[in-house]
Amino acid sequence: MSAVWQPPPTVASLRPVRLANAVRKLRADLRRRDLLDEDHAPPTEADMEARAKQLFAATEGSGRIRLPLRIHAHLGATLAWMYQQQEWAHELQQIRSAIVRRRLALHPRAWLWLIAYAFDDAQLARRLSEQWAGWSERQRSKLKDLIPRSGPHHLDRLPQDVAERILSDKIQIDQVWKLGLKAGSPLESQTWRHLLTTHDNRWLREQPFSALRTELERQNERRMVGLVGRLLLEPAVKAGLSPADVRAPEPLASLVELIERCMPKAPGHPAWQALGPDAAKALRWWKTQHDLERFFTEWNADPDREAFWRSYVDVIRDVETYTSAQSLAMQIADTWFVEFGAVGNAAYAYSSDRWERAESKRKTACKPEDLKSLDRQPKVKRVHVGGWQPRFQQWIWELTEQIPNRRWT
């Protein structure tokens, strides 16, 4: 049976004045806690849509709007949800107009939700300023944690002020959310951009690795992950970080692994632009080292082959692994080289054009033969027989004109 809130039995026996105070306190408590429904279950999309429809219907007309308590208690969360749904733009504009024209009053917690999603709306900022002037000190305190010094008259500076407060108070990165920033909101995004583009990034570099892990895994906007990766990895690369270093003991290897895992897969995503070429190089080195280690640990325990391909880590642009076929493909320049786990298999080479044309066949590869016959053109392959490394080196040079960082004799 669902837990339904019941008033304490003493309320019924209270005198009228005390009863009225108790009811007001209950309403304030409902608003403060943003109870979602009677059994405290999280709202579904259908619940949010129903609330939005009720709110929109209540704003139709021209008089002052008085919302039922149940709608009013969830007003902020409902507005925030509508801001994230493009199909509600028309209805949201009508509600926004009602707020600006003073037909609909918002309580402090609803304003807290609203400025998280529309802090750069100048008309709403002026309306908040007017509301702010009439609030009690207790009501203002609900917003003071989020607006540290500027006050509502300068909402355009709000992200910068929040970022400065985080830096000055040395708030730990995984505790920033306690300031009231709503995950995925424009205010949160703008705050992180100010926070991570400041000239002094000692705050970020001094964060415990566990705190960095918590925040990076929580981040909804991957661009923030790119900025963090750039600030932490770019100085290391410019200082001489090598491909071998990304296999070093904690915390560097774990940090690179974490950032690589949190970055979006699409190469054109803004997060990769935020990351920058130097930090992206460190991630590519880590992924290549990781895939090579997996291949030569699980499928092909050949130390000579492993040492040979590790010498090319700095020029390997991409790596693909095929678990069913126990195969590893590496891109150097415009050529893909394929190694197979089973002993006795030659290495194969494909041009990038041939490799891309066979994408559908590669995705369904379940045995080595599938990657040996991607098309009908003559196969380019070399076998690993006695002193094969110099021959392979020459072969790779002829196909790619890439020089490895290790010389074979």
Q: What's the mean pLDDT when you consider all of the chain?
A: 75
Can you tell me the distance from the alpha carbon of 94 to that of 141, in angstroms, rounded to the nearest whole number? 29
Where are the domains positioned within the chain? 11-60+69-154, 159-290, 300-400
Amino acid at 10: T
Question: pLDDT band for position 357 (50/70/90)?
Answer: confident
pLDDT > 70 fraction of the chain, expressed in percent and rounded: 75
Q: Are 90 and 100 in contact (CB under 8 A)?
A: no
Query: Residue 269: is it exposed, middle or buried by C-beta count within 10 angstroms (0-12/13-18/19+)?
Result: middle
pLDDT at 259 over 50: yes
pLDDT at 206 over 80: yes
pLDDT at 255 over 50: yes
Can you tell me the distance from the alpha carbon of 106 to that of 315, in angstroms, rounded to the nearest whole number? 59
Q: Which of the given ranges, 60-69, 221-230, 247-256, has the highest pLDDT on average?
A: 221-230
Handedness of CA 141, 119, 181, 202 (dihedral sign): negative
Question: pLDDT band for position 143 (50/70/90)?
Answer: low
Name 359's Cβ contacts closer than 8 Å, sequence gap at least 6. Answer: none
Give the Å distances, CA to CA, from 208 to 58, 202, 252. 49, 12, 12
Residue 248: its pLDDT value, please?
A: 61
The secondary element (H helix, E strand) that includes residue 161 is helix 158-168
Residue 67: its pLDDT value, please?
A: 77
Can you tell me the distance from the alpha carbon of 230 to that of 274, in angstroms, rounded to the nearest whole number? 7
| 268-310: pLDDT as tens digits | 888 898 888 888 888 888 888 888 888 888 888 888 888 888 8
Pairing of strands 316-322, 380-382: unpaired
Can you tell me the distance from the alpha carbon of 291 to that of 329, in angstroms, rounded to the nearest whole number? 10
Residue 40: its pLDDT value, please?
A: 45
- Residue 251: asked if its preceding bond is cis (omega within 30°), the reply is yes
pLDDT at 55 over 80: yes
pLDDT, mean of residues 359-366: 72
Residue 346: its pLDDT value, please?
A: 84
Residue 126: its pLDDT value, please?
A: 73
Residue 15: its pLDDT value, please?
A: 46
